[in-house]
C-alpha cells in the first residue's frame, strides 16, 4: 500500500536496538518529529544528536505523541517495561505501532491489553535490514483496523512507501514473517553447510560462490512452482521425485561424513 500524504507527523519510538534506531533515523530523515526512549541512555543520546527528542522515561514517549512505535527484542521485554513504568493507564487515545517479533499468543494478549485500556493498535513485522528502511528494498507487513492503518499511513510510508496491509487479522504479520523466515533460514543454513563441505574438500569458496549464484534461478523457479502446486492441489506434478531428492540428500550426507 502506498500513501501520498506529505504531512510530517510526530511519532515516538520505544526501543533503540539496531532496528529501532534505524526506524527512528529513517523517520527523522523523512521529516517526522521523533521522540525516543531506550533503557540505555547512550542510544537515546546518539539519536538526539541526529535530531530526535530524548525521553527520560517510556511514559514521556507515550505522552509526547499519539503514535508510538515499539520495537524491542520480544514481548516479554515490552511487558516488563509496561509493568515497571505503569504504562497501561497511559494507552488511552494512543496508537501503538507494534513492530516487535512475537508468538500468536503474545500478539493476542498484547492486543487485548491495548484495547482494554482505550488504545489503538497496528501489528507489524519488518522484513528487511535497518539500512533498507526508507528505500525501495524496505518491507513492512502490517495489520489493523482500516481506519487505524489510514491514520498511521504517513508514518508507515516514511519507512516503506509500499508497505503491505494484511487486513484486520492481527496474527497475519507474525504468521507470514515467520513463514518467510523458515525458508530464508533453511536456505542460509544450507549455504553455510555447503561452504563448510567445500572448504573441507579443498574446493575454493570462490568457485562455490560462482556456481551457487548460478543455482539462484533454479531455486526461485522451484520455490514458485512448489507454492503454486500446494495452493492449487497439484502436488503430484514434479520434475524430480521425492526418491530422487532423498537419494541426493543421502549423497550429500555421505560426502559430508567422509570429510569429517
Structure confidence by residue, pLDDT tens digits, 67-124: 999 999 999 999 999 999 999 999 999 999 999 989 999 999 999 999 999 999 999 9
Chain segment 38-74, per-residue pLDDT in tens = 999 999 999 999 999 999 999 999 999 999 999 999 9
Its pTM stands at 0.85
d(CA 115, CA 41): 30
Q: What Cα–Cα distance (Å) separates residue 194 from each residue in 58, 181, 198, 203?
A: 46, 19, 6, 11
Largest Cα span, the chain = 64
Q: What are the φ and ψ backbone dihedral angles of 168, each rounded to 5 degrees?
A: -90, -15
Find the helix or strand (DSSP H, E) in which 109 lies.
helix 104-116
Amino acid at each position: 500500500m502506498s500513501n501520498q500524504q506529505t504531512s510530517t507527523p510526530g511519532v515516538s519510538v520505544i526501543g533503540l536496538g539496531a532496528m529501532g534506531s534505524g526506524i527512528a533515523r529513517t523517520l527523522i530523515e523523512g521529516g517526522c518529529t521523533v521522540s525516543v526512549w531506550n533503557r540505555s541512555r547512550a542510544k537515546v543520546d546518539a539519536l538526539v544528536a541526529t535530531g530526535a527528542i530524548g525521553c527520560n522515561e517510556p511514559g514521556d514517549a507515550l505522552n509526547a505523541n499519539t503514535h508510538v512505535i515499539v520495537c524491542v527484542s520480544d514481548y516479554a521485554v515490552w511487558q516488563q517495561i509496561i509493568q515497571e513504568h505503569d504504562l497501561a493507564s497511559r494507552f488511552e487515545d494512543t496508537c501503538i505501532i507494534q513492530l516487535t517479533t512475537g508468538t500468536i499468543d503474545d500478539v493476542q494478549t498484547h492486543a487485548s491489553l491495548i484495547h482494554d485500556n482505550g488504545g489503538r493498535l497496528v501489528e507489524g513485522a519488518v522484513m528487511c535490514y535497518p539500512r533498507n528502511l526508507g528505500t525501495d528494498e524496505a518491507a513492512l507487513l502490517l495489520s489493523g483496523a482500516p481506519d487505524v492503518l489510514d491514520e498511521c499511513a504517513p508514518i508507515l510510508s516514511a519507512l516503506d512507501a509500499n508497505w503491505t496491509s494484511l487486513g484486520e487479522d492481527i496474527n497475519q504479520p507474525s504468521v507470514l514473517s515467520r513463514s518467510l523466515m523458515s525458508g530464508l533460514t533453511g536456505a542460509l543454513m544450507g549455504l553455510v553447510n555447503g561452504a563448510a563441505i567445500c572448504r573441507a574438500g579443498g574446493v575454493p569458496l570462490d568457485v562455490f560462490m560462482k556456481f551457487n549464484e548460478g543455482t539462484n534461478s533454479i531455486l526461485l523457479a522451484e520455490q514458485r512452482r512448489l507454492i503454486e502446486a500446494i495452493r492449487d492441489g497439484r502436488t503430484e506434478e514434479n520434475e524430480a521425485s521425492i526418491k530422487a531428492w532423498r537419494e541426493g540428500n543421502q549423497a550429500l550426507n555421505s560426502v559430508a561424513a567422509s570429510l569429517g
